[in-house]
A = this chain, B = another copy of it.
Amino acid sequence: MKTINSTPKADGFRMPAEWEQHQGCVMIFPERADSWQYGGYAARRAFCEVAGAIAQSESVTVCASDNQYENARRMMPDSVRVVEMSSNDAWARDYAPTFVTNGSEIRGINWGFNAWGGLVDGLYFPWDKDNKMAMKLCDLFNTDMYDFGSFILEGGSIHVDGEGTCITTEACLLSAGRNPDLSKTEIENYLRECLNVNKIIWLKNGIFCDETNQHVDNICAFVKPAEVVLAWTDDQNDPQYEYSRSCLEILENSTDARGRWITVHKLRLPAPVTITAEECAGLDTMNFKPTRIPGERLAASYVNFYISNGAVIMPFFGDPADIPARDLLAELFPERKIIPIMARDILIGGGNIHCITQQIPL
């Protein structure tokens, strides 16, 4: 593995859209007991379902700690590769490399990671093992690496169409805990150089109560060039309403990098999902404080799906909105199977299916 001291744009590499062909997907086996109930037992079953669903159409590599390697190997389908790799938690989207391609070679980008806000409003400490994963994964997959470790960014905070457009949120990228010394223009320049995009659409907010400072991948995702799904509620009393409405307005008044107006499909949210006292009892404390309190609202959203080569793996919440959400995705991805996974045990950790996966382009 070689570290490359230029930028993807300078070298003619770009981040492809998620629907372009993958060689595979990376996930991380969950184990931290202050993120996941019962030391991870419940979440691990859900992660295995996600891995199995993805493995139907592309190869899946699951990273597990030395301690959890045997459990991961036993629980995961044979078709999934399990490798030992240390991490602080299990969010492959956010700290696996963002891969870029020039059509014949892929390379990884190592962004800096500080647990979604570092000492300002980060979610745990330390985050050193997470932050080393991008390099280790480039090494594992034999790709060279662009090192942008001094720029803090999580993979879940960006979405691209592979044709020059990036969508992100101000709430996250302009947060005080990431790159406070960089102007919005300077941050844009990182995205332009690294993702090789020339149009960045800035949404203001993401999902209410999303503790990542409102990653875009929970509120809005490209489904094809110039078409997105947007998490939506019709309940004007829900704080989410104003967030989503603002996104809609921005998107409907935006063109993409190629000058196309953007079509927005409203993907209606489930009724607010809150954590129960029993679920909270299954979580360890952090710094002598509970990590969740009973009744706390979780950032449930159907937008947090993963597009594999043959399927769209989407979260279900046991809510009546599950079915219309599935039907909309089926309509938008007619050539892919829609695979729903009951995702409450992933959601409790603070994210969902897109957050725990990272595609590796061909």
Chain A residues at the B interface, C-beta cutoff of 8 Å: 1-2, 66, 69-70, 73, 78, 81-86, 129, 132, 135-136, 139-140, 142
Contact = CB atoms under 8 A, between A and B. Distances in A.
A1 B86 contact: no
Contacts of A85: 84
Contact of A84 (B70, B73, B81, B84): B84
A66 B142 CA distance: 18
Contacts of A140: 81, 83
A84 B129 CA distance: 11
B1 A70 contact: no
Contacts of A86: 66, 84
A85 B129 CA distance: 14
Number of copies of this chain that the complex holds: 2
B132 A81 contact: no
A312 to B, nearest CB: 26
Contact of A1 (B81, B84, B135, B139): B81
B83 A2 contact: no
B129 A73 contact: no
Given A1-B73, A73-B1, A82 B129 contact: no
A66 to B, nearest CB: 4
Contacts of A139: 73, 81-83
A32 to B, nearest CB: 15
Given A84-B85, A84-B86, A78 B136 contact: no
A85 B140 CA distance: 11
Closest 4 pairs between A and B when the two form their complex, measured CB to CB:
A66-B86, A2-B78, A84-B85, A82-B139
A1 B82 contact: yes
A1 B83 contact: no
A291 to B, nearest CB: 24
Given A84-B84, A84-B85, A84-B86, A69 B136 contact: yes
Interface centre among A1, A86, A139, A142 (most CB of B within 10 A): A139
A136 B85 CA distance: 11
A78 B132 contact: no
A103 B28 CA distance: 34
B1 A132 contact: no
B135 A73 contact: yes
20 contacts: A1-B73, A1-B78, A1-B81, A1-B82, A2-B78, A66-B132, A69-B132, A73-B135, A73-B139, A81-B139, A81-B140, A81-B142, A82-B136, A82-B139, A83-B83, A83-B136, A83-B140, A84-B84, A84-B85, A84-B86
A28 to B, nearest CB: 12
Contacts of A129: 66
A87 to B, nearest CB: 10
Contacts of A142: 81
Nearest to A83: B140
A135 B136 CA distance: 20
A51 to B, nearest CB: 13
A44 to B, nearest CB: 17
A188 to B, nearest CB: 31
Contacts of A136: 69, 82-84
Contacts of A83: 83-84, 136, 139-140
